[in-house]
Structure 1
Amino acid sequence: MKAILTLLCGACFFINVHGQVRREARWCTVSAEEQVKCETLVDAINERDALGESYPPGFDGGYLKLPQLMCVQAMDRFDCMQRIADNNVDLIQLEPGIGYTAGEYYNMLPIMAEKYVAGDNDDGLSYYAVAVALKSRPDVTFDNLKGKRACHSGVGRAAGWVYPVSTLIETEQMPIVECNVPVKSAAAFFGPMCAPNGLTRYYNPFGNNPVSVCENCQGDIEEFCTINDPYAGYDGAFVCMASGDGDVAFVRHHTLTESSTSNTTWTPDDFELVCTDGTRRPYDQAENCNWGEIASHIVMTSNIHNPELQSEFKKLLTLLSLDFGEEGEHKDIFDLFESRHFGKANLMFTDASKALKDVVEVDGGNRLTYYDWVGEEHRRRLTVLNTCPIQQARICVVSDYEMTKCENMIMAFAAKTLKPDLNCIMGTSVRDCMEKIRLGDADLITLDAADVYTAGKSYDLVPIAAEDYTGYEAANYYAVAVARRTDSHLTLFNLKQRRSCHSAVMTAAGWIIPVDKLIETGQIHVRGCNSYFSVGQFFSKSCVPGVLNSHYNTKGTNPVNLCEACSSGGNMHCERKSDELYFGNSGAFRCLTEFGGDVAFVKHTTVRENTDGRNRADWARNRRSDDYELLCNDGTRKDIDSWRYCNLGLVPSNAVVTAKFKNAETRAIYWTLLNFAQQFFASDGNDDFSMFDSMLDHKDLIFQDSTVRLVHVFPENQTYEAYLGPSFLRAMERNANIDCVTGSWSASWSPSLLLALLSALLSTLITI
């Protein structure tokens, strides 16, 4: 009779043939061989129960009183960790390198530890990381590993990766190729390698790791360079080297004797240890010739399980160790720490294990978390592994709200150990930030296209990344004019003496493009070379954040009515920063919705971002997108989704800029930091932090909230001229070169423009 599985209160229980309800202990396996061993263990438990013999003290009732062991096969350990996080499985054995990842990213904790020496004390709760080479290859030494073929148990594993690679980086043998990507550094240092998982998504998020990291692996299509590759794991890495497909293997010290004694092709005496002092030693001298001492492997479970359930799991594992371990009374039924007759080594547990020990009983109970289990030295090694030539990347912000978000970014980036470290510098304005970056007192800031022009022309700054608002690497957007649907008489050609809302002075969508359009169509006639004065004469009242700031009001003559429609009070009124509630694209749209203006000049995504429940702020909560329309160049109006055909012009996206004097390597490091960060924090649904989301009432902090991702500005385009393109450059230059005699652009009107004006005039007459 088969068991019946039921779900009860989110936990999986088991009803056996006797009607007893037992909680499952679902063990996650990662290969067919491990699944067979696990299922064989389940059979051994049933056989042990059937014997009717007594159980050790404290285990009255035996396995029937404990959770029922079940076996669930997954693709790999990361799949297992995700299943544990989702409460679909419960238990897995992990070596400390991957165990640290499990604790940090999957909320798991250690409950039992492998013990490699018999006895009740704390001896045997660690092992050595060693490098092994054939005795016949005396040329393989610590000082000449460059270019050698390396065999690793797996990327991310302690003895097979973290300790050897960190040692080579720390001793400056291995140069840093790219921050946050030690796989690339290892690939550049070694020759052809087998480093399983080196091309998987977790360690290769951008899909551009060199294929040489897997060149010497041996698996078929599905197993190639995975944890199931024949050359994966400690045993696989040793065979990779011993078979001549590698020059050096990075393994644990037990591996050499286990693998060599189980294979008749070689003996332990055929190998030597490669020491970090440049010498070589016999295979049995790992204590004096190793690359570090590492905490033993651990059985881990979800941290969300209550202490009572964790205790039940521990009792089950303890009884398994007492029954089937090295000194188990029923080892003849099943050998818990032997795997080779199942087809592979180290299945479920390390074959070198003698027993399992409750972590509560280790070191007086001071190593109960993944963090404490691996220890200070392992954590230091991880820091070394993420060594970066640049210590910090300083983002310049211009408001208290941006500073708050930036400080949250610091914590989020640090939690993912991203390098270089992020820092935040407060500037008094965007221009002040430009100056700070020019002088080397800050490194990065995200700028509107018009500010990119100013930053490049006046401050020698260059773009390195651009915001993408579509997800298709389209680093641009459309500038549009938005009006209320109820103001149906309003067109782009009868805005005189209306009220206007602008994202900010000298921004692309909020000022450059619309003012350029109004001057080009002859509606604004600039007098005295002062476009600010002429715009103030054209509109009755406006909110143009920053227009009275000294950078833009050099003579103190800019009209105050350009700030009269702004919302914030005191010193923040009409400031070119998020302290002004009507600042930015969302702020300009808010100005329109709250009847501060009749038209808002914004980017084409703004209306959608702030209507139909997409913005939870009070001012946007009940806004409907169909209450607004776009004003078109031909004098007509269209719905807000027709921006592709009804816009004022195409604008380059906002860009992250840095100083021109920064070399190519430094710029690449900044981009890598941002690129890695967005792999973790691009989603607005991320509970920890979202790069492209801002707090209520203050949108577009540091980055535009409509950003889907950042895209790289390739080195050949890292000038403001190349990034902005000829069309936008002409608009910027026209703004700076108004004909002071005619009061218009020096270029003559085109026939197409005259036709558009005539069409608009006819449309207006028909309406009248």
Structure 2
Amino acid sequence: MKAVLVIVLIIFTLLSSGKKFRWCTLSDLEQRKCAELSKALTAVLPVSNTNSFARISCIRAHNTYDCIDKIRVNKADAASLDAGDVYSAVKLYGLTAVAKEIYEQVISEYFNASCIPGVGVAAPQLCALCQGQKSYVRDKNHFCETSSNEPFYDSDGAFRCLKDGVADVAFLDHLTIMRATESEQQEYELLCPDGTTAELSKYSTCNLGKGPGRGIITRHNFQKITNQFLTMIQRLFGWKGKERARFELFNSSSFAGKNLLFRDATQHLQLLEEQLEIAYVLGLDYVALLKGLGHEGSSLDNSVVRWCCISNAELRKCEEWALSIKSDPLVCVQATSMANCIEMIKSSEADAVTLDATHVYIAGRCGLVPVAAECYGQVCTPAAESTEEMRKLHLKHKGLSPVYAVALAKKNARQINIHNLRGRRSCHSHLYSPGGWLLLSRYTVGTLENDTENCDIGSAYQNYFWKGCMPGADGNLCKVCIGDSEVEGTRVSSRCAANHNEHYYGNMGALRCLVGNPSGRSFGDVAFLEHSNLLWNIENLEISGWAKGYTAIDFELLCPDGTRAAVTEWAGCNLGPIPPSTVMTRPVTVTKIYDFLMKSQEFLGTKVDSEFHLFQSQKYGESDLLFKDATQYLAPATHMSYQEILGEPFYQLAESVFNCTPAVVLKEVFVLQINKDTESASSLKSSYVELLLPEARKGTEIQKEPSK
């Protein structure tokens, strides 16, 4: 009694606070039953002002996928759907199954004795025919257990029960029937719903239906509340509910319909554990059956593309892309960073993402493969004038044009050069960025030559710079990050985040960090970014209202030889070339993603009259969303390895750096065994420094700045 009271009070508090639990309905009759449920709840859970809120808001949807979408975008909270739709909701739209309907009551009253492994002690006659070992010791008791220790468990066990003469009828799936021997085909027959019988081979027309029953779905962050809500209405209005005389949850006869909100045959709702795999919710056989028979969930799984977005701005652009594309459906999935996208694609929670060169290396080491590479600059033939084959040949024989990493300072800060950056304030596009993290190490952490203990450039940067903003990092390299100060309540959570929700993220963000916040306060002495859209980003400072009065002549590049140059001189004053950003996916989805991208590019890539532009981001308040804005077209790269796209120098540098600076996403890939190797730590460090300092091999001495 006390437990019931606690559950009721939890929900009572939730609902009396003004929050409505929104149930998605699929018909006018369901809408009527839902409204009556709302009235019944109001009657049994009175408050001081019963008209101040509704405990259930009934959301009418057109069909099951409309329901799924409403729940996904927070316009509804839960719905009861058939198993196939539950599969689609979970696998394709990121929802979760919170409960499923259980129908055994009906069977226990119908049959004299049965064996239904897993039914438990609630209905002893349903276990009466089982033959598993009985024991008072839990680990030795296999009677009526859902495992192979119970001889009559699963479909094969049910058939065995019949063949052994223990039962008169067996309920099983068609997969077991397909494996029946010729003699078994002659000895047994199917019982059809119309009262006739049929040969075992006629299971497609003589069957009791497909798959498990309904399940209740909701959003991941709403699972606990939905659990509590279902528990409450079931205790009040279920078959044994205290208020069943007022409202029957599992009976639709008074509404002149059947199976409204829940199936009428439902005995009770079984709540599911959080993060439970869909195969265990619907059954392993059923999920395999869905895929094998081309069920709509499986066919959607084969066609839908789940693109990984790393910020609210990317999500807005992706959703507009989804509305504009005429080919396969696009679903936009949100992550917290490029590294998080790699994790999600590895675990099949997303399908594709565009990664910068360093993250291409990380993704490649994690088993992902290239689909298409961005092509920039004049060497890229405009998409409208080139064919797919021309682009493949261009990539094979000429390669893709890189972007260049540059170091940018204000023109009036004339004392700053590439050799005296120690102890200064730095602005980096993000952690692991090609220009602001990897290539930069060749010019700023040359002091590793004198450090035989540590070759981790992450910690080296913490000691090298006074403070700065490197989104995704920590410590003093997060001190000047500002998050998204324009959205109330998000500044703390987005501060130093490795995505556009941090205003100092990316090429545009590093420039903002250098010039300071809109009030004019400067946080950086030097910014490390890419040349590709630098001029536009400088112009955008004023266009966007971030900072006024800045033009290209107010900045200069810091060259490797210690001199400075105008921002237009990037070809001769840069920190090195960066391989192109590349779309990556799992090997099994390459063809799907490639076809989708080529169709998208054909319809949305460069057409002037299109409302949506694949390679433009300004309208969303940022730059380089989903793809670099400098992209001319996406060049096919399915015939290349990620190592070939990165090129030997960049790949070898990444190899050396990450052997000393493992990324979290690579913790299962990199297993450093320095202690087991014959090579000592210092010799490993020496080869690392050799790669970091190509100038040293040429005899060029790197100037050292005394520590401040």
TM-score by length of 2: 0.47
More helix by share: 2
TM-score by length of 1: 0.43
